[in-house]
Chains A and B, each alone.
Chain A
Amino acid sequence: MHLDAARPKPRFARFAGVVTLLAAVLLVFALQAPAADAAKNKRVIAISPFAAQTMIQLGYKPYRVGMTLGQTNFQKRLFRNIPKMTLSHPNGPNLELVAKMRPALVLSSTRWSQGNKAMRRLGIRVVVADPLSPQAVKSKVSLIGRLLGRKKQARKLNKKITRQLNKAVSGIKGVRPKTLVVLGIGTTAMAFMKNSWGGRLVTMAGGNLVTGGASAKGGFARISDEVVLHEDPERIIVVPHGNQTDLARVAEWVRNNEVWKSTKAGQTGNIKVSGDNTLLQAGTDLGATVRYIRTNFLKNW
């Protein structure tokens, strides 16, 4: 007779299987969790407004949001509780301030490439996460989601973007109006080319750029007014810089432009001024922006 067999089993031994299973489950969660938990505490600076917008939509509050001096109106409501960081130097942010903040990650854009290099020299992790075209938005959302440990939320956001965009571009039919999109308000305004953010959005919204298939480095080029007169655009969209209070006067000035007022757009009251930065600055609200273009400028909604 085996002595052990006669010895009664301790009480907990009866639950050993359950306990082991529970421990294994907890271990799996423990191994999975650090990335997300650590990410929660990370100081992530979003230099590009797109990154900031994406972070907020993924439920992750940026430590700082970068803003150029003239950009105070952009996403004013969305960014209202987030400390701002001025971008007014070729580097972008003040590097000493960034170094002092000891961020775990800086989400930047190609525009601040000089500053990106400098921040990397300071040992700061910098990732360029700004899309150069609407088509690249979803991959950048995924990238940001991956970096922040919010892959699931990123997938969800991407689905939402696709759904909204599909809805916004549906029903575009008939002749696409010839459209000139102009940046700024200097005496020599620059035209949005097909490879610019706004140019692509206007095309998606059913506009036909007067600059045709021409592209330019940076997406903008000074186009001859002779071409504007010759092409005779039916819509002219002006994307000025400046404050909201300047818009009315800017609109009056562009409508009195000697060349533009003699085009079809001028004669039919279709010279319009964009009141925000959505045609200039990448954002995740693609569907809303396309709808805005169709409703306010192209009038094909």
Chain B
Amino acid sequence: MLFALVAATCASLALGAVSIPLSEVIDTIFGRQVPEATEKIIEILRLPRTVEAIVVGAALGVAGACLQGALNNPLASPDVIGVTGGAGFGAMLVIVLFPGSIAMLPISALFFGLFAAAMVFIIGFTGRGGGNITRVILGGIAVASLFSAGTAAIMAAYPDRVPNGIYFLVGGLTTSGWDTLETVWPYLAVGFILAAFMIRPLDRLMLGDDVASSLGSRPRLIRFTAALAAAVLASAAASIAGLLAFLGLVIPHLIRLLGGTKSHVFVMPVSALAGAALLTAGDTLARTIAAPEEMPVGPFLVLLGVPLFLWLLRKAA
């Protein structure tokens, strides 16, 4: 998987709408003298975008693994805890209703993603019977529906402003340089650290709540913390690249099927690598297939990921 990521990264840096010899790409990275246009394209566009693809892919892979482990549900993805719906609403709110505040788009997507997740956590983890998996999932579906309805209402009211938001909704990396990453990196860091601390507890949770409790774990706290890590990672990812929840759903399954193990010690880091590799490869394809036009990466991920996933599913069966 590491090899796939390195290959995807090299392709992402070397390929684009403008043809640049590989030697010039390498020279730019190592700070040697290259034509000014080449330097700008690599430094302002391809390098930050490749880093974004790696970070977002890894975040979504880890978020999916965390959620599927915490909720013990194979269908769990950032959609289920409302993050996708919330982030989409936050983005469309700025793009369509408050275009003057467009610089706030990542913040708005992040805020509403986390807000939606907080609503789900309050419904799912508090009060009598809090922490019940079914309650969390149903609460998540309800909250996601609420925000999706809000997004749809905004889009229906302002159809002429929708095209600018479509890229966000179908998922696509942009060329905003390092700006968005500079804003959301603390959230990504917190999410990754929390997720790393959840690897062992999630493995214990797989043995069942009773066994986990007898081993000194607190299942409700583990579920909450893992879901929180997933929410933070998925919201931060959505604020950078729009709605790419498909990665969070499919990548952990792919890794389990490929590796033949459900242990989070394996699934979590390899999901990060696989998510990063798939998104980086998908984005390179989206940028180059119809150049100079750019396609959104979301549909490409589905085209790349689904056949592989279905093949593995059939093989495993």
Contacts and interface: CB of A to CB of B under 8 A. Distances in A.
Contacts of B165: 186
Interface string A68-104: 1111000000000000000011100000000000000
B158 A185 contact: no
Interface stretch (A21-29, A133-141, A220-228, A289-297): A220-228
B167 A241 contact: no
Contacts of B179: 258
B52 to A, nearest CB: 12
A290 to B, nearest CB: 23
B135 interface: no
Given A69-B157, A258-B175, A187 B168 contact: yes
Contacts of B18: 224, 226-227, 229-230
Which of A88, A214, A247, A248 has the largest number of chain B CB atoms within 10 A? A88
Q: For this complex, into which size category does the number of interface residues on chain B fall?
A: 35 or more
Contacts of B95: 185-186
Contacts of B260: none
Interface residues of A, number: 43
A88 B293 CA distance: 29
Contact of B16 (A69, A89, A184, A224): A224
A229 B174 contact: no
Interface stretch (B99-107, B184-192, B195-203): B99-107
Given A224-B17, A229-B41, A259-B45, A69 B103 contact: no
Given A229-B40, A229-B44, A242 B99 contact: yes
B163 A184 contact: yes
B294 interface: yes
A220 B293 CA distance: 10
A245 B100 contact: yes
Contact of A68 (B98, B101, B158, B175): B158
B99 A240 contact: yes
A224 B175 CA distance: 9
Contacts of B17: 224, 226-227, 230
A219 to B, nearest CB: 11
Contacts of B176: 187, 258
A205 interface: no
Given A70-B158, A88-B158, A188 B172 contact: yes
14 contacts: A88-B156, A88-B158, A184-B163, A187-B102, A187-B167, A224-B18, A226-B46, A227-B17, A246-B99, A247-B100, A248-B100, A249-B100, A250-B100, A259-B45
